[in-house]
Chains A and B, each alone.
Chain A
Amino acid sequence: MLSALLKTVQEQFPKSYWIAGVLPMLVFLALNGVLLRYHSPAFKDWLASFNGVEEKTLLYGSILLGVLISAYLLFSLSSVMLEMIEGRRGPLQWISWILLPGQRWILKGIDEKYDEAGIDIDKLRKSLARWQDMLVAARNIGRAPFTKSDKSKLKFTKKVRWLRRMGRRIPPNELENAVARVTQLMSQFETKNGSDLDCARLDLLEMIQFALNRAQYESLRLYNLRQFSFPGARWTFPLSPNPSSVSVIAPTIMGNIGRTMRSYALTRYQLDLDIFWTRLLDTLQRSALPFYAVIQDSKTVVDCMTALVWLTAIFTFTWAGLLYWCFTPASPLEFALVGFGGTLLTLIWYEVACQGYRVFADLIRSSVDLYRFKMLEAFHLSAPLGTDEERELWLRMGQAMGYSSEQTFIYKHPSAS
């Protein structure tokens, strides 16, 4: 009977309800139940008071119903919980004055490293040909034999070799020094093919190439990290007289990842996702069902992790207090396990939620790229001829739909085409 009931319930609710609603709630209630049974004699007595098959069936049925209802409530609150974790409402918004400086600091760190990578690329590009010429030309100057006892003169390359071996950044000035000293040695000693000096020369050439490649890789990685983790772009000088709403950062990492979706669509196409999101969703449902399913699955992961973050935080906070004040004397190990373990678990869920949200945001950006013209078809509007026209079109549509600005459009109905 129970399995039949479960099957009926399962058919009634979507997959996301089971993953983002039932699963976190079940874990939460089970953990609370275990701790309550362990610490509260009253709860234990209450459980023990159910005797006989009928009473126990009633108990299990009530528990099941309770889980399903509370899971449904949790599932309904998923968008609220997501907004809360983004810092748009609730406790994280109240402490946004503490959180915002941290986000600015993180962003500044990315920008600084990006600048550093850019400077490295410039320096390396400028010096590349000169270093190459030096290391090739100096080969024919030296005449003295490079013996084993002279090998110690190559010790200075130890640091750059280590940086290369570890795949770390090799500062251009370190390379500059190394090139100068190897060249100096080459001008004194004969550089035979396969000799230690020749190997050092070849290694150095490879390191120069590596340093340039790594700086390029780092530059692109940081650029992507910035644009997919924080909204907007860096400010530039001179300041722009046109205000932009895309570069305002949120108090949390999740909030900033969320804002990248709107920022991306606005900076690329002038398409405001705050206005067009539900329209785009409709287009995806009609024209790209498999892609829409992928987006839904991704959102389910985000909702599940968000629910786990909040429920674990509530569990940790509540049980740390209960164990300390109400269920004394709790064992220190248990208290520490709940306090530290719960906090660690909350952080892990949050990190996983962030990763999931990055994937979701990427899917949304892709859907903007791929299906925005389909959305125009749904509006019965012609596709623009070029990028400038497109930006102009989305801007005007956004103003018309979002801010009731009077705009004129010429429709293209399917029958007329």
Chain B
Amino acid sequence: MRSFFYGLLLLIPWLALIGIGTWRIVHRTPPAGSLSSAESAAEVTAAHKIPVSWLIRKNDLRGEAAHAKSLLGLYTAVEIGEGKAVRAQDLTRTPKILVAAGKVPYRFPVDASLAADLNARSKVAIFEKGAAVIPESPVLAVECSASCVAILELSLAESAFLSSGPAGLAVMRRQ
């Protein structure tokens, strides 16, 4: 019994670290859909202190279709035609930026002006349902509707614009 208690005593710091780590991971995950559409992405970003590394990384979207789908959930761009811009009527509900750095997509609301700005500046790459997502440059995924995701391929200049722009979003290019 004493050896059990002494072992437990020695492990308390380590178990506490794991506990704190779990707690922090839980609390740094913004709950999807809990934010009102009135909040701008900048506010959301600031409120949640999103680290740069959390935003889209190019290589996270590279790979086979199943992997891309696992990154982006089940959202696929099927409603918008190739080469077309995302129109206001396509945004059937609050558009959100999908931050796909990792397995679970994090969703943050985007106000309409930012979406329009992105459309004006970015080439929208459309993917068929189940198609491989292999972007060649940094990307930003914008959720347009329940079944639609627009993957915006961004140039370096656009990345810089987004990083320093009104939205205050950082788009990271993996080194």
Binding site for B on A (CB under 8 A): 38, 41-42, 44-45, 48, 98-99, 102, 105-106, 109, 253, 320, 324, 327-332, 335-336, 339-340, 343, 347
| Shortest beta-carbon distance from A249 to chain B in Å | 13
Residue from A328, A339, A343 in contact with B22 in the complex, judged by beta carbons closer than 8 Å = A339
- 1/0 per residue, CB under 8 A from A, across B84-118: the answer is 00000000000000000111101000000000000
- Contact present for B18 and A336 (CB under 8 Å): yes
Interface residues of B in 46-99 (CB under 8 A from A): 51, 53-54, 59-60, 62-64, 67
A-binding segment of B9-17, B31-39, B123-131: B9-17
Complex contact A328–B6 (CB within 8 A): no
Q: Which residue of B lies closest to A317 (CB)?
A: B14
**Min CB–CB distance A412 → chain B (angstroms):** 48
A6 to B67, CA, bound (A): 34
> Bound complex: CA of A105 vs CA of B21, how far in Å?
32
Q: Which residue in chain B gives the minimum CB-CB distance to A109?
A: B2
Question: Once the chains bind, are A329 and B22 in contact (CB under 8 Å)?
Answer: no
**CB within 8 A of A102: which of B10, B21, B25, B51?**
B10
**In the complex, which residues of chain A have a beta carbon less than 8 angstroms from the beta carbon of B22?**
332, 335-336, 339
Determine if B29 is an interface residue (Cβ-Cβ < 8 Å). yes
Asked if A105 and B18 make an inter-chain contact with CB atoms under 8 angstroms apart, the answer reads no
Interface size on B, residues (CB 8 A): 32
| Cβ-defined partner of B7 (8 Å) among A38, A320, A347 | A347
Residues A332 and B26 in contact, CB atoms below 8 Å apart:
yes
- Given the known interface contacts A328-B101, A331-B103, the answer about A105 and B2 at a Cβ–Cβ threshold of 8 Å is yes
- 21 A/B residue pairs, CB under 8 Å, sorted by A: A41-B67, A42-B59, A45-B63, A98-B10, A102-B7, A109-B1, A328-B53, A328-B54, A329-B29, A329-B101, A329-B106, A330-B25, A330-B102, A331-B103, A335-B21, A336-B18, A339-B17, A339-B18, A340-B15, A343-B11, A347-B7
B62 engages A45 (CB within 8 Å): yes
Give chain B residues whose Cβ lies under 8 Å from the Cβ of A106: 2-3, 6
Cβ–Cβ < 8 Å partners of A41 in chain B: 59-60, 62-63, 67
Residues of B within 8 A of A343 (CB): 11, 14-15, 18
Q: Are B18 and A102 in contact (CB under 8 A)?
A: no
Contact call A324/B25, Cβ cutoff below 8 A:
yes
CB pair A339–B10 under 8 Å, yes or no, is: no
Write out the residue numbers on chain B whose beta carbons fall within 8 Å of the beta carbon of A44: 63, 67
Is the pair B67, A331 in contact by a Cβ cutoff of 8 Å? no
Residues from chain B with Cβ under 8 Å of A347 in the complex: 7, 11
In the complex the two chains form, what is the Cα distance from A347 to B104 in whole Å? 32
The 10 tightest CB contacts between A and B, nearest first, are: A339-B18, A102-B6, A109-B2, A332-B25, A336-B22, A332-B26, A106-B2, A329-B102, A106-B3, A332-B22
Please name all residues of chain A whose beta carbon is closer than 8 Å to the beta carbon of B101 when the two chains form the complex: 328-329
Partner of B104, one of A99, A329, A336: A329
Q: Which of B101-157 contact A (CB under 8 A)?
A: 101-104, 106
B3, B29, B64, most chain A CB atoms within 10 A: B3
Q: Which residues of B contact A332 (CB under 8 A)?
A: 22, 25-26, 29
Task: Give the chain B neighbours of A42 by CB distance below 8 A.
Answer: 59
